Amino acid sequence: MTDTRIAAVDVGNDALKANFGQMDESYYIPNVISRDVEDRPVIGIEDLDEKEPIDNLHIRVHSPALEENNAVYRIGNLATKANNSTELDPGSSKSEEDQTLVMLFASIALDAVSSDAFRENKNDVIDANYTLGTGLPLREVKEGKDVGYRSQLLGSVHQIEFLVTPQYQGKKVNIKFNEVKVYPEGFAAYVNLIMDNQLNVINKELIDQQILIQDIGGLSTDIAVIRNRNVDDDKAQGFPLGVAESLEEIRDEIRTRHGVELDSRRDVVDIITRKNDRHHIMVKGSRTNVHDITDRILLELAKKEYRFLRQVWQKNSQSEICYFVGGGSAVLKDYIKALNNKLDGFNIDFFEDEQESIWMMANAYYKLIMDYLNKTAPAEANEQAATDET
């Protein structure tokens, strides 16, 4: 078997979260890209290599999986500073967007060029083989879009060229996938609840329960119904609503009322969730409270999310608990709890550690791909032994 490195990547609508190798490297990159020129201007070019690569990702992407091939992009934090930055639009399908693949390739190339797993040749080219665990919203998996998404990744070489990027300028990474596993996001969340990183069963009481998992993302909400340790495909539902529209609405209202231009939705999330000066912005140097804006808009979204919960629970009345996961849950937690206390009083739970909720999918994909490798390794070893004997 070709040497391969593990990649567990959650291309979230707000940010990409990825684990690599034996969890020895992790990246968090805002899901923002912008088209750019090859030789982008840099102030203080002589100091470029003193900057962090992850904050200055400038790449060319060549892949037959992309509609716009061979394009140049700013990625993540660098893209948020551009006037033409793009985030995934409400109503779009994650599996059909170039942006999803560009973010995925960028994170893997960054790992390949920064780790000791692969050697570059004399032409500054790294040939990197990965076994990838990733996921798609439940709605897209039910529509069969995971099959096309997986086939786009397998069987081709995807090349990332680092352009004006600190430390890695001029280097190229050829990415090839030995295997790609695409999991429904709701099931991944369930796996993360019952299994630790060593694949030991935890929370044993959940294994035989019927539970709901409501994953609130940027563009969609999935509610998985878990029974008999599997997702009930007929009962699970996906809704084309996430926090992205509300974040844009907050951003627009702050711009209109206070004349403050926030770079991206990530800035809005930071205003809502940070520990100090929450719901405050700076206006002409003065600390200004925008809680009236954020509170009104987020409460309306929480009411819609609560209606989704009520709708699914009514059809699955024997469910014992609903876990809220995803970055959207971290944003809406207080509002949903207040609504639930006032209204139905369902048995619901959130992850008090916001980072645990945000990283849940990437961690789950890591566990799932490790489980897959552990199960296939003995079979491959036996096959190799039989080949050697002949």
Q: DSSP letters along 266-335, please? A: HHHHHHHH-SSSTTEEEETTEEEE-HHHHHHHHHHHHHHHHHHHHHHHHHSTT--EEEEESHHHHHHHHH
Please tell me whether the overall predicted TM-score, pTM, comes out greater than 0.85 for this model. yes
CB 357 within 8 A of CB 329: yes
State how far the alpha carbon of 133 is from the alpha carbons of 140, 184, 352, in Å: 16, 11, 26
CB 306 within 8 A of CB 340: yes
pLDDT category of residue 1 using cuts at 50, 70 and 90: very low
Task: Report which of 264, 252, 260 is spatially closest to residue 280, judged by C-alpha positions.
Answer: 260
In order of start, what are the domains of the chain with their CATH numbers?
5-185+365-384 (3.30.420.40), 208-358 (3.30.420.40)
CB 50 within 8 A of CB 42: no
**64 vs 148: CA distance, rounded Å:** 13
pLDDT over threshold 90, residue 192? no
**88 vs 83: CA distance, rounded Å:** 16
pLDDT over threshold 70, residue 342? yes
**285 vs 300: CA distance, rounded Å:** 30
SS3 content of the chain, % helix, strand, coil (to 5): 40, 25, 35
Task: Report which of 157, 153, 145 is spatially closest to residue 94, judged by C-alpha positions.
Answer: 145
Extract the tokens encoding 353.
Answer: 């550690």
Give phi and psi for 214, each to the nearest 5.
-100, 110
Mean pLDDT is lowest, of 58-67, 105-114, 159-168, 200-209, for 200-209
pLDDT of residue 381: 52
What is residue 84's three-state secondary structure?
coil
pLDDT of residue 285: 94
The one-letter amino acid code at 31 reads: N
Interval 100-146: pLDDT, tens: 999 999 999 999 999 999 998 888 899 999 999 999 988 888 889 99
Residue with the larger pLDDT of the pair 216 and 377: 216
Interval 58-78: pLDDT, tens: 999 999 999 999 999 999 999
Q: What residues have CB less than 8 Å from 27, skipping those under 6 apart? A: 16, 17, 18, 20, 54, 107, 110, 111
DSSP character at residue 231? E
pLDDT of residue 388: 55
